[in-house]
Structure 1
Amino acid sequence: MPSVIRPAIPHYVAPPPTQENLEYADLAILDFSKIGTPEGRAELSIQLRDAMTAHGFFYIVNHGLTQAENDRIFDIADVAFSGVPEEEKRNYLANIKSGGSYQGYKLREYWHIDGGVRDQIEHYNINKDVNRRQHPQAMSPLLPEVEEFAKFNYCQVLQPLLRLFALGLELPEDTFINMHNFTSPGESYAYRAIVHFRGLHSYERPSDDEIKAKQVWFKGHTDIGSITLLWSQPVTALQMLMPDGQWRYVRHIDNALTVNSGDAMEFLSGGFYKPTIHRVVQPPQDQRGYNRLSVIFFAMTDDDVKLVPRVESPVLQKHGIQRRWADDADAPTMDAWRKGRTRAYGLVETKMKENGTEENIVDGIAVKHYN
């Protein structure tokens, strides 16, 4: 990333990796050192397409961010939680219920998880336009670094990925890039702490709550947007639902990205790229007592993009198109889908289905939750 002024802040010390014998998902690893040539992109596009149709998750290595730069981003993410007093956080709450936006803080015990248990997940979200709203005092001098990190994710990771997703459908390479403009209005996020910068802190729960919620911290779900970039961290709690119906853990790899697609990409690809079903559970025994700090980059299309399939794709013409609505005229825009799902998660009643999944309706489309 380009050099910016780096204020002195406390160093975040990550928990040690688990030593427990867990069942991990066997995921593809994409080497982004190959992304610079047409031959390399062609190879990676096939690898990505196979990963997305088999599992929906994959890793990226050699993406261009050094381990030291990675460590600094986690230092910044931790400031949003440990460096901001609780009373100050309340001045920067996200307008979730009425505005359908996660910008700002979502504090703990906002969502209902299961069995009367509420969540212990806190996150801070910064839009790709870091100046869109005010920030806590401790975060303000760090915004230039957050902005540079957002641009790195967008230019060095997201744009190349969008080219690969398009190539996998035999579409022009810029098909999806043209729907994801960094400077356009919208709710893509740069830092979900992280376009969305999100720093996310999961806190330990009382043992009674673990039993009531079946050790689930965040129910099985799909993401709202097109692509999610999760910067790997060592607390092993992320699981994905495999094609055989089993939940398996996602392994931590130092300075790697874990990537999955979301609802928007499913809609745009006519169901070819399935949104990844994943959840967060109680960590293994040797990692309990540690808080889990995550840094996530959520990419969404521009707000006005109508999420209809790219019917011109030769691949979709061959394999068929699956829609979640009766007619393309009924398809939501990114803005409507984002707001509808954001307003509903953990706040509205879900209907239990015979197969054990739960369901609620957003814009006439069934949204499933898995446990």
Structure 2
Amino acid sequence: MKTRACKLALALAALPALALPLGAQAVEFKAGDWTLDLGGIINAYYTPTSCSGNQNIGGAALATKALGCGGTDGRTTIGNGLLPNALVTSAKTTQDGIDIGATILIAVHTATNNATAENNNVDVRRAFFTAGNADSGTFKIGRDGGLYGDAAIFGDMTLLGAGAPVQATQRGRVTLGHIGAGYSFLGYYGQLSYLSPSVNGFSVEGGVFSPVDGTANGSKSPQLQVRGLYKFEGGKAWVTGKTQRFKSNGTAGSDDFTMNAVEVGALGKLGDFGLMANYQDGKGLGILSDGDSGDKKQRNWITQATYSITPKLTAGVSYGESKLRDGTGTDLDKNSNITLGAYYKLTKAVTVVAELGQTKSEAMNGNEAKLRGGAVGAILFF
């Protein structure tokens, strides 16, 4: 059990960093026909944690001591929240009536396991270019986030904070927000995708994505993702789907299966109130990444409410669950997380954050582990 948990912790620590919403406070330069933007993000949070309950739960049980508290009853880290530290460079121009853009994101982390280790794990998570216009639509070529789970994670209030402060990932990377406890990670893929022109607020985006490995290897066919998005005054709604074939190639203990998953959600504002809800359902979807739970059936959901107390201070509560519908005994049944948060805009660039939350992991036989923690810190966009 310990060996298995350690291997899983190492895999979780290698989770990709999340992308920075572009253009937050970017500095703009002109170079001939090109416009260059340079921006970025830096953040750090004090996150004390404690773990308790029955630890005999298999799989990606986020609240266990092995994952939630890094192998102990409790731990404290001063490190990144759900977003990494990142430097984002983008460029755009128009040539022969075609709008062209390019983006590269380079990310690093804050926390390490000791005072002499170098945080030199440089992560180039986004590197792509786009070409098109408002009449014909836009093509994207390169590496970027997927469509499935994109709206949920970028609508999550804990994107500015930490959410579930899982120590197996925060020490050497980032926290998880509601990843694995409300929605599956959007993932970053090599891709060839297309975004249609917007017609009365409605657009369609889809493409072919580089297949990835889960409990079985990715197949020779690409992963397919498609999303319909409707933008309205004060919000948006979406429907997304993805599919990929996984091949065992004769590997012992691994079977062929096909991941098929759908997603539906919406977010919006009504005066000072903000609401978001997202639901994901599928087979082979995976708790933290595509296919990491084999061909098990799964559903994820998250609901969130925020209220702007003043123009600078917003408070909110979010709750999410990720549940596997197949399994027996100590197999993981579900992860859940509830987070209470307060977000204060000290300046246009700096937001001060305080969060308090609890993550639970439950096995099919009723075993339950709890991770309690919080986060206090700040995030800078420039």
Task: Report TM bin, short chain.
Answer: under 0.3
More strand by share: 2
For CA contacts below 8 A with separation 6 or more, give which structure has more relative contact order.
Answer: 1
More helix by share: 1
Give the TM-score normalised by structure 2: 0.23
Which structure has the larger Rg? 2
